[in-house]
């Protein structure tokens, strides 16, 4: 219950005991008691005087004095204010505690996520260190050229065995998507094999070209040597 509600209930009971109209006097007296331009003692005294004047002729003077004791009324108003303040402080403390708990949980969650990511990164690093350069090149090519995520699983030959589709939980990919993924894998691997064949053919051709150039160079050098020897013999 708020301070306004508690004060409203207490004033309404007081006005009712004075045999006055609750709807007319309750809000007016509450406004007087909530006027922060003066201290509580002055507010209570003003409200007490107002109610005394309003109830004159309705109740006897003895009944008025009994119901409108300024000291008793001031103590009650202060009690309501204090209780309300305690309630507000309790709510604020609860709110702060909830925020702190949320921050702690968030921190722990982030710490766990960082730990998992670090472990995964180390595992990935160890796996890469163990892979043959050709297997590593094939794996990196698939990731770079065909958009497979780094979390996809590869076998010991660098072939993809499992695709981790981003944004889709395990088991959410239907049969059509699975077939499409398999086709993508096969196409990707076929592309790699074809590319490796082309690169190998280029390498072989390049080596043949170098060997041929070396052979021609040696023959040319041999002919020059023979020519010089022949010239010396003739001289």
| Whether residues 50 and 118 fall in one domain | no
Q: How confident is the model at residue 26 (pLDDT cuts 50, 70, 90)?
A: very high
pLDDT, tens digit, for every residue of 164-219? 544 443 443 444 345 455 556 666 677 777 888 888 888 888 888 888 888 888 88
Is the predicted pLDDT of residue 79 greater than 80, yes or no?
yes
Sequence-separated (6 or more) residues with CB below 8 Å from residue 55: 18, 19, 20, 64, 67, 68
Is the predicted pLDDT of residue 56 greater than 90, yes or no?
yes
Q: Tell whether 201 is covered by a domain.
A: yes
Q: Could you give the count of Cα atoms lying within 13 Å of 8 in the half-sphere of its Cβ?
A: 8
Domain enclosing residue 138, as ranges: 112-144
Q: What is the DSSP string of 168-213?
A: --TT-S-HHHHHHHHHHHHHHHHHHHHHHHHHHHHHHHHHHHHHHH
Is the predicted pLDDT of residue 162 greater than 80, yes or no?
no
| Whether residues 9 and 95 fall in one domain | yes
| Whether residues 135 and 191 fall in one domain | no
Q: Tell whether 173 is covered by a domain.
A: no
Domain boundary among 84, 110, 136: 110
| Whether residues 27 and 97 fall in one domain | yes
């Amino acid at each position: 219950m708020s301070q306004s509600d508690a004060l409203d209930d207490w004033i309404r009971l007081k006005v009712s005991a004075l045999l006055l109209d609750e709807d007319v006097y309750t809000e007016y007296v509450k406004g007087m008691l909530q006027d922060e331009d003066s201290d509580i003692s002055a507010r209570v005294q003003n409200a007490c005087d107002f109610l005394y004047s309003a109830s004159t002729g309705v109740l006897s003077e003895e009944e008025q004095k009994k119901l409108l004791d300024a000291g008793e009324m001031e103590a009650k108003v202060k009690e309501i204010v204090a209780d309300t303040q305690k309630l507000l402080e309790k709510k604020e403390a609860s709110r702060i505690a909830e925020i702190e708990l949320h921050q702690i949980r968030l921190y722990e969650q982030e710490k766990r996520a960082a730990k998992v990511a670090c472990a995964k990164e180390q595992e990935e690093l160890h796996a890469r260190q163990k892979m043959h350069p050709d297997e590593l090149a094939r794996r990196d090519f698939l990731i770079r050229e065909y958009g497979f995520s780094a979390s996809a699983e590869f076998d010991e030959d660098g072939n993809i065995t499992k695709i981790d589709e981003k944004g889709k939980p395990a088991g959410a990919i239907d049969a059509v998507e699975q077939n499409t993924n398999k086709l993508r894998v096969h196409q990707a691997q076929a592309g790699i094999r074809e590319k490796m064949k082309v690169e190998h053919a280029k390498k072989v051709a390049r080596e043949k070209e170098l060997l041929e150039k070396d052979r021609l160079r040696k023959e040319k050098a041999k002919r020059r040597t023979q020519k010089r020897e022949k010239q010396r013999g003739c001289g």
